[in-house]
């Protein structure tokens, strides 16, 4: 079956532009996570959804970052007024349920802010 | 956030076993130990997880110390496709939040 799909694969934005990154999780997966990965670093947690509820947004670096999952399936990570330090790979992962179900990751969106 | 300690890099010869160590000295009774790996330009891939007992699956084995303060991921026969960054993670919280560190970069030598 299809895995986690993220789009676009690459995004170049001018500083100050808004961007929206999409994640299509595996069908039926309850939990959805967003991570940010800088070059040469491990992924950093951003936020967690259980169905449509955003239960943890402690990793969002500023109020310019906003995530939603309105129908408990597709999720969008929005970054307003992008800055150069936002350049990174943004990874989405889903799992069957909360708890210890393995995370299934997409291949990420590489965002470059110029 | 829960922290683990891993060597930055390791080397292995192809077709030989690999033992990747991890320290998680702050682990509590309900925290699970997970291993993921990440190949270049891909998202992380689940390898294995465990709580107290040793675990085996088709990819690897996980040996957990009796005091649970350390664990070892065992790849029984390394192949070139196993070259990746391996992350050892101590999940925590009600939904077992997965927090990555910097991982161990495994190089497999033909």
Q: What is the DSSP string of B19-78?
A: EEEEE-TT--TT--EEEEEE-TTS--EEEEEESSS-EE-SS-EEEE-TTSSEEEEEESS-
CB atoms within 10 A of CB B29: 7
Residue B75: its pLDDT value, please?
97
Query: Nearest CA to CA, how far is A101 from chain B (Å)?
Result: 9
B46 touches chain A (CB under 8 A): yes
Query: Nearest CA to CA, how far is A110 from chain B (Å)?
Result: 10
Is the preceding omega at residue A8 within 30 degrees of 0, hence cis?
A: yes
DSSP B15: T
Can you say how many angstroms the Cα of residue B25 is from the centroid of all Cα atoms in its chain? 15
A35 touches chain B (CB under 8 A): yes
pLDDT range class, residue B29, cuts 50, 70, 90: confident
Sheet order of strands, B70-75 included: B18-23, B70-75, B61-64, B55-56
List pLDDT tens digits, range B79-90: 999 999 999 998
- Give CA–CA dist A95/A102, Å, rounded: 6
- Give me the half-sphere count of Cα atoms (radius 13 Å) on the Cβ side of residue A44: 14
pLDDT greater than 90 at residue A97? no
Q: Is the CB of residue B36 less than 8 Å from the CB of residue B46?
A: yes
Could A42 and B32 be called an inter-chain contact, meaning their C-beta atoms sit closer than 8 Å? Answer: no
Tokens of A73: 């399936």
Residue A38: its pLDDT value, please?
95
pLDDT greater than 70 at residue A19? yes
In the predicted model, what is the mean pLDDT of residues A29-42? Answer: 95
Could A50 and B99 be called an inter-chain contact, meaning their C-beta atoms sit closer than 8 Å? Answer: no
Dihedral pair phi/psi, residue A2, rounded to 5°: -70, 145
Residue B80: its pLDDT value, please?
96
Q: What separation in angstroms does the CA of A110 have from each of A5, A47, A87, A91, B41?
A: 14, 18, 8, 9, 10
Residue B99: its pLDDT value, please?
86
Nearest to B103 among A42, A93, A100 (CB): A42
Q: For residue A91, list chain B residues with Cβ-Cβ distance below 8 A.
A: 43-44
CB atoms within 10 A of CB A5: 15
pLDDT greater than 80 at residue A105? yes
Q: For residue A31, list chain B residues with Cβ-Cβ distance below 8 A.
A: 95
């Amino acid at each position: 079956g299809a895995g986690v799909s993220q789009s676009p694969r690459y995004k170049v934005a001018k500083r100050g532009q808004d961007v929206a990154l999409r994640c299509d999780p595996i069908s039926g997966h309850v939990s959805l996570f967003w991570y940010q990965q800088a070059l040469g670093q491990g992924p950093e947690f951003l936020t967690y959804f259980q169905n449509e509820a955003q239960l943890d947004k402690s990793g969002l670096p500023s109020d310019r970052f906003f995530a939603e999952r309105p129908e408990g399936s597709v999720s969008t990570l929005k970054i307003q007024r992008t800055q150069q330090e936002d350049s990174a790979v943004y990874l989405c992962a889903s799992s069957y349920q909360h708890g210890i179900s393995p995370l299934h990751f997409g291949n990420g969106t590489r965002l470059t802010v110029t | 956030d829960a922290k683990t300690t891993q060597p930055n890099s390791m080397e292995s010869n192809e077709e030989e076993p690999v033992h990747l160590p991890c320290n998680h000295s702050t682990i509590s009774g309900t925290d699970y130990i997970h291993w993921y790996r990440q190949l270049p330009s891909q998202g992380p891939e689940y390898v294995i997880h465990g709580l107290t007992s040793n675990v085996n699956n088709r990819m690897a084995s996980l040996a957990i110390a009796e005091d649970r303060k350390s664990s070892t991921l065992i790849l029984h026969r390394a192949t070139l496709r196993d070259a990746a960054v391996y992350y050892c993670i101590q999940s925590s919280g009600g939904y077992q939040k997965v927090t990555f560190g910097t991982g161990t970069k495994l190089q497999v030598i033909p």
